[in-house]
Structure 1
Amino acid sequence: MHDSTSATLLHRFLHWEQAQPDAIYMTEPRPDGSVVDYTWREVGDQARRMAAYLKSLDLPPASNIAILGKNSAHWLMADLAIWMAGHVSVPLYPTLSVDTARYIFEHCNTRLVFVGKLDVKTEGWNELRKAVSADLPVVALPMSPATEAPQWESITESIQPLRDVHLPAPADLATIMYTSGTTGKPKGVMHSFGGMMTYALGAGEFCGTNTQDRVLSYLPLAHAAERTFIEANSLCHGTHVFFNDSLETFTQDLLRARPTLFISMPRLWTKFYGAVCAKLPQSAQALLLEPSEASAALKKQVLGMLGLDAVRMAFTGSAPLPVDIVAWYRNLGLELLDAYGMTEDFAWSHYARPGEVRVGYSGTPLPGVERRIDSTGEILIKTPTRMMGYYKQPELTAESMTADGFFRTGDRGEVDEQGRLKITGRVKELFKTSKGKYVAPAPIENKLTHPKLEAVCVTGPGHPQPFALMLLLPDAHKELEDARGQGALGAELEDLLEHVNATLESHEQLSHAVVVKDRWSVDNGFLTPTLKIRRNAIEEVYLPRAQGWADLGRKLIVE
């Protein structure tokens, strides 16, 4: 890559706009069932027109401009337009509460908001609109519920494309990413154009990424995992991005994309696994384990059914995946590579290497990354993609760093003889039982795996023993409605509990498990946007009931 084209992701975009103008950059399904393709030339034309509009507003240079909405082709176009006009993009989760949105708009002095697709169409916007002050301009992307705002299409139709776009320097601020966090107010993580580019060049080398690669965008673009894997990689390497319209269309959108590179979260890998197990009779599941031609054909068929038959590299991250599920995918021919990274290091930290996977470990440090574990067990990282700091919070930035420039991740970990990292929980997640013993919940949660379990939270501070809260997959929950189903599934879950307890120290052993009746979702605040459990929110609701459950003296309680 020549210097003129590789200084920043925007330079790379301009390169592809020239080098492959008629190649398709983005493919987007719409709610009405239609599918729209956008070439690099079309994306450039639309982004340049919106950049011209932003220039016409005479905002101060490097103004903060928010993008609030679900993933879409115009989300990426809006980001490009912001950069082309010399501004800074602030991506926001579409599931934000009004208070959090208001806090972010005020905290970073947002000058304009692009509003895109929102899940609960108008209701979501009617709520979030309250966070937008009267003097904050809004531009509605296609598919946005903000019908009263100026629309992207009408703006871009009535203005000429910006010819001389702003070319940022690598040291310039590109974006402020507010971490959703599992606690407290979100922090604005600042990243430079150079840091984003360093990630994209390194990730491209790791994956051998090229213009023939296909990816599916469905995790929130406001999150570091998707921003790096989808946006940064596609802009840098000219790959074809497919979008997912909704949860209902996920399977068909994945089948359309047939991605060559794919990243997912443990919760989704678990759901895929559960869906296949539910569809395949026992005989077919047994056949998958045999070394035969029939088995090889079935494996191909299963991957094809999932839309994953073209994948040459698959990643998982955000939390460990159960051993048996990893083994199941590996048997199908999909070696899941664990990735460990965070918003603060733009997801450039640790990847498992093909052929060197150790289940439950997040691989070894990536090129340019230094790692050490301090006396408390906290993982410290120094990386070339390190953030510029937390926006307007110099004290917090200083607190998060060691004197010699390592970032304090807040995660606890240990390293094996090959230098592979295992995350053993959050530094602040340890809780103390009434017997004065400390329990780390995450490793126990990782052992509690069952095809019908969607999520687990181990808790019990101040109680004699920890216990588990279990969320079943919706179909499994229906099984509990009749006595026979309840008996069979109940017995399986009790066996699981017994099996896991046999592997634990006596102070960690679970006194009982509770199958909860309420769904845990991003919308009700029990899950983060990347589908990790929000421990604080869950404990606030369930801990007041804990003593009552303990008094029942049963191993398994169904709410």
Structure 2
Amino acid sequence: MEYRLPLAQMQHNVAQHPDKTWLHQPVNRVWHTYTWGEADEQARKMAQALLSNGLSRGDKIAVIGKNSAEWFIADLAIMMAGLISVPIYPTAGADNIKYVLEHSGAKAVFIGKLDKTDALAEALPSDMLSIAFPYPTLPCKAQWNDWLQEYQPLQTLHQPEADEIFSLIYTSGSTGLAKGVVVTQKNVASSAMSAAKLLVSNDNSRLMSYLPLAHITERCVVELPSIYSPSDIFFTESLETFIHDVRHAKPTSFVSVPRLWTKFQSQILAKLPNKKLQFLLNIPFIGKLVAKKIRTQLGLSQASLFGSGSAPISPEVLLWFHGVGISIGEGWGMTETSGLSCCNIPFNLSHVGTIGTPQPCVEMKLSEEGEVLIRGDAVFSEYYNNPQATQEAFADGWFKTGDKGKINADGAWSIIGRVKEQFKTSKGKYVAPVPIESSLGRNTDIEQVCVMGIGRKQPIALVVLGEGASKNRAEVTQELQKTLDAVNRELESHQRLEHIIVVKEPWAIENELLTPTLKLKRDKLENHYGHFLTAALQTSIVWEDTM
């Protein structure tokens, strides 16, 4: 199939509506707006600056920083100059940054807003060309605003072919060194066009860009779809201003990850306990007012489409949000599949707990072992400079995702865990943790959960409580016991949980218990809490701070 590639689509937009707004960036609580024409002019100047500073077609350019208008513009400039972007997570450690820069062969780096600069300062080669976005950040060899003044717009843009590299994207991974996924222009065009048809509701669509742009989802579900179906993009200034920025933007579509959806849920329940909330929601007229107030407080009063991806989310959490008028369609995809490959959008209530149906840019099937296999225009074809990993990743032209799945009678797909995440108990029985973790999500006090059990007779569940959990420990213990009993009744004997352990410390990127995309780092969690796997625990509900 022929696709209009991202840069060509961008130029089409500039020709059609140069004065229409596109990017909205808050700086010191003042909103700065860029039209399509203004963004194009800045990108052309940056492209000319890159070429004038010794870079040439095919060179790799790293980008590290939190989301901003300049990140989008730099991405365009890199394409305009015929270069290849290498995004790096702004939370990455020094070793990871050093590895990506060296492995990719990056010759320059754009540096944006960072919460901490120590890791990058340690990893950045002293002789590398560094360009600072116009925010407080590391000292750099060049400044964004200086280049805008110094250089004229590039007149003749590079015209990429469909099979040219769009970006080298290093998988965040929960174990081992990241692999560089070679994503082509055709890969992202096919994926972004499919996503745009789903996520962009009308000519006045507004989207938020706040999930890491180093992750394929943000680029192929937000950035590029906003080009294919022109939409206003709003950025956030900081974590502290996040809700205020969402309220300002009033997005028409809102995509998040399970960790943030459960965080929203906890914040709501901290103000209004769940029993009282459910009582109010069931009162005619009053229920609608309460639900509308919740959506308004979150800044989502005008959103008609909601998505969740990157990691599994509990069906009970989805049903809870559906009750307040936020119907979240779960999606699934990988870096290797250029983002969204399968989703429950448009939202179908009967498909809650599934990832819906495949997108037009891919086809999917199950192997004999139940592993999800995928191929199509959005699927990558190689890992960068890693032929062995490439060979191991494919079988007869199908990419082996590593996810275990099933196809339901109505055609919806479900992911039931990672092939390698299964663990064996001391009884020699295999347990898949994800479905059990999903079932525990019915308890609204639980914000994070990890099931483990290597070497134990029975699995255990570690949980982090949310802000909305009662301060009455006896009451929480009683509710957790009810949840444990209910979940165990639904499990086979070898899967039943022996204990729920309430841990003291939330899991975060900063303590290296979550990946940059907020997935569980199971190996790190097992190392951190490994003593529970051998401990003789006296009660079925255990509080770590009493041990």
Moved more, 48-57 or 195-204: 195-204
What's the counterpart of residue 90 of structure 1? 86
What's the counterpart of residue 13 of structure 2? 16
What code does the residue aligned with 1:11 have? A
Alignment of 1:104-119 (within 5 A): 104-119=100-115
What's the counterpart of residue 344 of structure 1? 336
What's the counterpart of residue 494 of structure 2? 507
Moved more, 159-168 or 431-440: 159-168
Alignment of 1:90-489 (within 5 A): 90-119=86-115, 124-280=116-272, 283-290=276-283, 292-354=284-346, 356-357=348-349, 358-403=351-396, 405-449=397-441, 450-474=443-467, 476=469, 485-489=472-476
Structure 2 residue 53 is matched with structure 1 residue 57? yes
Conserved 8 A contact 1:289-1:331: no
Please report how far the alpha carbon of residue 189 of structure 1 lies from its aligned counterpart in structure 2 after TM superposition: 0.7
Distance 2:156 2:287 in 1: 58
Give secondary structure in 2 for the equivalent of 1:91: strand
Conserved 8 A contact 2:343-2:356: yes
Moved more, 303-312 or 410-419: 303-312
Give secondary structure in 1 for the equivalent of 2:434: helix
Deviations 1:297-348 (A, max 9, x none): 3322221121112112111122332233222222333321111111101124
Conserved 8 A contact 1:349-1:381: no
Task: Give the share of equivalent positions with the same residue, in percent.
Answer: 39
TM-score (normalizing by structure 2): 0.95
Deviations 1:458-500 (A, max 9, x none): 0010111110111122564xx65xxxx2211122222211221
Conserved 8 A contact 1:115-1:144: no
Change (3 A) 1:209 1:200: farther
Deviations 1:343-368 (A, max 9, x none): 10112421114353422110111224
Conserved 8 A contact 2:254-2:306: yes
Conserved 8 A contact 1:348-1:385: no
Structure 2 residue 28 is matched with structure 1 residue 42? no
Deviations 1:438-462 (A, max 9, x none): 1111111111122222211100101
Please report how far the alpha carbon of residue 277 of structure 1 lies from its aligned counterpart in structure 2 after TM superposition: 2.3
Give secondary structure in 2 for the equivalent of 1:127: helix
Point out where structure 1 has 5 or more consecutive residues left out of the alignment: none
Structure 2 residue 68 is matched with structure 1 residue 72? yes
TM-score (normalizing by structure 1): 0.93
Moved more, 346-355 or 104-113: 346-355
Structure 2 residue 505 is matched with structure 1 residue 518? yes
What code does the residue aligned with 1:440 have? A
Give secondary structure in 1 for the equivalent of 2:24: strand
Distance 1:268 1:140 in 2: 29
What code does the residue aligned with 2:59 have? S
Conserved 8 A contact 2:212-2:218: yes
Q: Which structure 1 residue ranges, 4+ long, deviate > 6 Å from structure 2?
A: none
What code does the residue aligned with 2:538 have? L
Distance 1:344 1:386 in 2: 6
Conserved 8 A contact 2:172-2:517: no
Distance 2:446 2:313 in 1: 13
Please report how far the alpha carbon of residue 29 of structure 1 lies from its aligned counterpart in structure 2 after TM superposition: 1.5
Please report how far the alpha carbon of residue 144 of structure 1 lies from its aligned counterpart in structure 2 after TM superposition: 4.2
Distance 1:531 1:28 in 2: 24
Point out where structure 2 has 5 or more consecutive residues left out of the alignment: none
- One of 514, 538, 542 as aligned partner of 2:529: 542
Conserved 8 A contact 1:494-1:556: no
Conserved 8 A contact 1:210-1:238: no
- One of 477, 480, 491 as aligned partner of 1:490: 477
Conserved 8 A contact 1:173-1:193: yes
Conserved 8 A contact 2:205-2:253: yes
What code does the residue aligned with 1:344 have? E
What code does the residue aligned with 1:402 have? A
Moved more, 95-104 or 9-18: 9-18
What's the counterpart of residue 529 of structure 1? 516
Conserved 8 A contact 1:209-1:237: no
What code does the residue aligned with 2:15 have? Q
